[in-house]
Amino acid sequence: RRLSDLMVKVDNYPKGIFGSSPLMAAGIKPIPEELSDMVFEDPELEYMDGAEKLAIPAPFVMWMRHVDDDDKGRPMFNTMFCRPQAEGDMKGTNDLNFHIDERMVSDHMNPQYERALNSIRQQMLNRKLKSDGYVFPPKVNPEEEYN
C-alpha cells in the first residue's frame, strides 16, 4: 500500500511547464527537495477496512535468482519452487519480509522474466553446463537463507 500511495503522490506532483519528469528521471534536471522528502518520508497509512494482506494466490512460486554469467556474458539464473503458505513451523513466501530495491522495477519486467526462464531452460536441456537450473529449498526458512 505504501508503494502504491507513493506512486500516486509522485505522479500527481506538479510537472512544471515543460513536463520535467523525464528530465528528472534521466538525471538532467535535479529532483526538487520537496519531492525527494515526499519519497523518503515514512508515513503511517490509515487502516483500510477490508484491506487484504499482500499474498501470492498460487500453489507454488518460482523464486528465480541471478547466480552467474555464462562465457558470453549473458546472465544465468536458477530457480527454486517455494510454497506461498506456511506449513507447520516452516515459513512460506507470503510470510517473508521483502526489502524494496531500485532494481525491483526493471527486474520484474517481462524481458527479465524471459531472460531468466530462457537461462533456466538452457541449463536443464544442455548437460554440458555447470548447473541443472534449479535448486532445492533449504532445510531452514528461506528468509534466513537469503537475507
The tens digit of pLDDT for each residue in 39-68 reads 777 667 666 676 666 666 677 788 888 888
Which amino acid is present at 129?
L
Lowest mean pLDDT among 21-35, 40-54, 61-75, 111-125: 40-54
The DSSP bridge partners found for residue 61 are 82
Beta strands in 26-133 (DSSP E): 61-69, 75-82
What helix, strand, coil percent values describe the chain, rounded to 5? 35, 15, 50
Q: What is the largest CA-CA distance in the chain?
A: 58
∠ Cα 113 119 121 (to 5°): 100
| CA–CA distance, 106 with 118 (Å, rounded to integer) | 17
Determine the pLDDT at residue 88.
Answer: 84
Reported as a single tens digit per residue, the pLDDT across 61-95 is 888 888 888 888 888 888 888 888 788 888 887 77
Residues 6+ apart with CB under 8 A from 133: 77, 78, 79, 119, 120, 121, 122, 123, 124
State the pTM of this model: 0.50
SS3 63: strand
